[in-house]
A and B are shown apart, each in its own frame.
Chain A
Amino acid sequence: EAAVTQSPRNKVTVTGGNVTLSCRQTNSHNYMYWYRQDTGHGLRLIHYSYGAGNLQIGDVPDGYKATRTTQEDFFLLLELASPSQTSLYFCASSDELGNQDTQYFGPGTRLLVL
């Protein structure tokens, strides 16, 4: 089964702070995704990538940057964090385009912006 890990699991920062959330997958999946989960909204896609160096904009990208440094690693960057970005963040990975497979999710990172 695909393994997706996230770090940190919990993070507290202040408004205007700089935060990096990390995600690593070890099943050689090409696609990786960052979501935020908020009550009443389900999961919303922030950014995704289909390979190292690639970045695609999701549905709620404002205030977020992302970078895919290797096939395994996908980072989400909040350079000027705001309280509206307080949320539960999930990373996921999946197999290649044309073979839409299950998205495997990490355990989540809970971010609090004061």
Chain B
Amino acid sequence: GEQVEQRPPHLSVREGDSAVIICTYTDPNSYYFFWYKQEPGAGLQLLMKVFSSTEINEGQGFTVLLNKKDKQLSLNLTAAHPGDSAVYFCAVSGPLLSGSFNKLTFGAGTRLAVCP
């Protein structure tokens, strides 16, 4: 089945610096790709959903890049601030119209600390 490797497991940056988290997946037919943010004591909050290859998607203070050729998904927080401190998870759905399409495989998470 699908496997998702997420790195690094821990990341500490200074306020204003960028932070990059990378996920590598194994199934080339995976269809949807997600980034979630988990703040302490809370559930997972969706940051972005993408499915187009090699597309840069810009959110509020972050950029998501999907490279289907290399089976890699990245999250780049530009100019991080203390409010970005959280655990970030990537997730990958199964192939379209497959039995695993509505199932997500998650990375192990990255704990990000942004220091003032």
* Known A100-B32, A105-B44, A107-B42; contact A48-B103, beta-carbon cutoff 8 A: yes
- Pick from A35-43, A68-76, A77-85 the stretch touching chain B: A35-43
A42 vs B34: C-alpha distance when bound (angstroms): 14
Question: Per-residue 0/1 for A49-75: is the Cβ within 8 Å of any B Cβ (1 yes, 0 no)?
Answer: 010000000110000000000000000
Q: Which residues of B contact A4 (CB under 8 A)?
A: 43
* Known A42-B108, A102-B46, A105-B44; contact A97-B101, beta-carbon cutoff 8 A: yes
**Chain B contact residue count (CB 8 A cutoff):** 27
**Beta-carbon contact of B103 and A97 below 8 Å:** no
**Size bracket of the A interface:** 20 to 34
Interface residues of B in 43-85 (CB under 8 A from A): 43-46, 49
Q: Which residues of B contact A98 (CB under 8 A)?
A: 97, 101
Q: Which of A42, A44, A100 has a CB less than 8 Å from the CB of B93? A: A100
Question: Per-residue 0/1 for B98-112: is the Cβ within 8 Å of any A Cβ (1 yes, 0 no)?
Answer: 000111101111000
**Beta-carbon contact of A42 and B46 below 8 Å:** no
Q: B45 — nearest CB in chain A belongs to which residue?
A: A105
Q: Does A103 contact B (CB under 8 A)?
A: yes
Q: Which residues of A contact B43 (CB under 8 A)?
A: 4, 90, 105-108
Q: Whole-angstrom distance from the CB of B71 to the nearest CB of chain A? A: 17
Add 5 more A-B contacts to A43-B104, A58-B103 (CB < 8 A).
A90-B44, A92-B44, A102-B34, A103-B34, A108-B43
